[in-house]
Amino acid sequence: MEPDLFTSPRLTRRLFIKGTSALATAPLMTAATGAHAAGRQAPLIAYIGTYTSPLKNMRATQVDLPPGNGRGIHLFEVDRETGALKALSVYETGTSPSCLAFNPAKTHLYSANETERNGDDESGSVSAFAIAADGSLKLLNTMSSRGKGPAYLSVHPSGRFVLVANYFGGSVSVLPIQADGSLGDATDVKKSAGTVGPMKATNAPPGSFAFSGHDQTHCHMIEADPSGRFVLSVDLGLDQIHVWKFDDRKGTLTPNDPPLVQLPPGDGPRHFAFHPGHRWLYSIQEEGSTIVLFDYDQASGRLAERQTISSLPPGFAGSNFCSEIMVSADGKFVYAGNRLHDSIGIFAVGQDGKLAFAADEWTRGNYPRSFNFDPSGTFLYVCNQRGDNVAVFRADKQSGALRFTGHFTPVGNPSIIVFKDLAQ
């Protein structure tokens, strides 16, 4: 979530809009079929979720956010050689589709709509889209997320369930995926409870006033482990990572033994990423500006902490809010997002999984909320939320270094970028 910069009370600006779906704009130009006919490679499509302004005649409530500059889900064609993005169309919606995820086959796309009201229901929502041959989106349905402000969603490896983290609702939910790709009502909802951490992070940089989510419980991420047997979720307000056993027939969550690991008070775990070898998990802390390495036992779902390292370059002082964390496909590097410092921290992964700071790269924008590699791993795309742009970097696969390509793409309040190769 977007945090307050200092320790002043959190204020919520409410904008009332109706509904959770909208009509798409004009369809994309011929893509896959035309590409093959012309003898060229099929297009690579980028989908960018944004924070949006209300649409006319819609009714919902945004959560603790100013009016968004985005228009919904923005579609672009990716130049595979240069990394540049070419605007194609927009699926317009006023519900802030701030997180996007594909099913395993990439035939459908799901969006977490970060509002705190869905019609008369005090919750956010999740939308299901079918993806046409040209990459354009067709809305199938929209269902309650069963909690306010869904900030994250992922699809279970089985392809049968969507997992949702409701940030302002302090809950996680499981929604079944129907045969046609649409969503059913939640099969399970778990609400966090416990003692909220302090306003001051244990590991905050010197002089930091970073405070965002320690006013209540705040579920910020949920995702299954690679096997699908266990599901992990993060509560930033409680400074905890929860581990659940997952029943992939019923779509239900049962606390693991032990049910959670505790992070240092106030540090605020936000996101995590598994190493490709599945033995290690890296957690990034929003207010503490740290990365924690855990050993992960795939058989039991247990986590054991082994290293804590700053997400920032040596000597940094002041306020910073961490955002995204990713591991390169080859497992050699970890990339960490820093907001206010506006950088991507680059860390080399040792043979034992431990991290060593290698470099950091300015994001060429304000408040990098998230980033993602294209399918080839050649380019890294950074969503500069407050800068209203996506900046493109070429990744050096040997050193992990990022080099700015010079390509900026204007997108209002970009939050996430995901890719689909129309050849697949």
Q: What is the pLDDT of residues 282-341, one digit of tens each?
A: 999 999 999 999 999 999 999 999 999 999 999 999 999 999 999 999 999 999 999 999
pLDDT at 57 over 60: no
Cα–Cα distance measured from residue 241 to residue 303, given in angstroms and rounded to the nearest whole number = 9
Q: Provide the pLDDT confidence category of residue 62 given band limits of 50, 70 and 90.
A: low
Q: pLDDT by residue (tens digit) across 109-157?
A: 999 999 887 667 789 999 999 999 999 999 999 999 999 999 999 999 9
Q: Which of 239, 257, 255 is nearest to 247 (CA)?
A: 255
pLDDT at residue 16 is higher than 50: no
> CA 96, 99, 102 angle in degrees (round to 5)?
130
- Nearest CA among 42, 62, 40 for reference residue 50: 62
- Cβ atoms < 10 Å from Cβ of 315: 7
pLDDT (tens digit, 9 = 90+) per residue, 82-114?
A: 999 999 999 999 999 999 999 999 999 999 999
Of residues 320, 422, 328, the one with CA closest to residue 372? 328
Residue 113 amino acid letter: N
| Whether pTM exceeds 0.85 | yes
CB atoms within 10 A of CB 424: 10
For residue 177, which of 159, 198, 201 has the smallest C-alpha distance? 159
Per-residue pLDDT band for 39 (boundaries 50, 70, 90) equals low
b/e burial code for range 371-405 (CB count within 10 A of at least 16 → b)? bbbbeeeebbbbbbbbbbbbbbbbbeeeebebeeb
CATH numbers and ranges of domains, the chain: 137-411 (2.130.10.10)
pLDDT tens figures, 228-251: 999 999 999 999 999 999 999 999
Q: Give me the pLDDT at residue 116, please.
A: 80
Tens digits of residue pLDDT in 167-219: 999 999 999 999 999 999 999 999 999 999 999 999 999 999 999 889 999 99
> pLDDT at position 15, please?
31
What are the pLDDT digits (tens) for 256-293? 999 999 999 999 999 999 999 999 999 999 999 999 99
Contact assessment for residue 268 and residue 288, using Cβ atoms and an 8 Å cutoff: yes
Between CA 153 and CA 49 the distance in angstroms is: 12
User: What's the pLDDT score for residue 67?
Assistant: 74
Backbone angles phi, psi at 124, to 5 degrees: -85, -165
Q: Which residues pair with 371 in a beta bridge?
A: 382
> How many angstroms separate the Cα of 196 from the Cα of each of 8, 218, 296, 322?
17, 9, 26, 19
